[in-house]
Amino acid sequence: MTTDTDCRLVFCTCPDQETAARIAERLVGDRLAACVNLLPGLTSIYRWQGEVQQEAEVLLLIKTVAARLPALTGTLRGLHPYELPEIIALPITDGLPDYLTWVTTCTQADD
């Protein structure tokens, strides 16, 4: 059974562990994300400015809610060293209800 949720999974690659950790800590600290997983050891092959590139990267798996996406995207763009960072958000259509509630609770803005 699939249930629509407000939760999102955002993918973002970073050039190194230090950058990834700094961004992740800021996103969680600012309540833009409930959790960010850092996956090192990623190799990305992509086309940039007419050339095929290959780089080692760290993938961020960011758990958030749709309402926080604009602020999260703005913060990512401001902190990220890439001219064009990968920021892709996918809807989470199902999951453990208690976990999804936790994501929602953790990303409520402080008033």
C-alpha dist (Å) from residue 68 to 7, 74, 109: 10, 10, 9
- Give one word for 31, left, alpha or beta, with left for phi > 0 and alpha for psi -120 to 50: left
The model scores a pTM over 0.75: yes
pLDDT in tens, 14-69: 999 999 999 999 999 999 999 999 999 999 999 999 999 999 999 999 999 999 99
pLDDT of 84 reads 95
In the chain the domains, ranked by start, together with CATH numbers, are: 7-106 (3.30.70.120)
Q: Is the pLDDT reported for residue 79 higher than 80?
A: yes
pLDDT of 1 reads 44
pLDDT of 5 reads 80
pLDDT of 111 reads 57
C-alpha dist (Å) from residue 69 to 16, 17, 50, 84: 23, 23, 30, 17
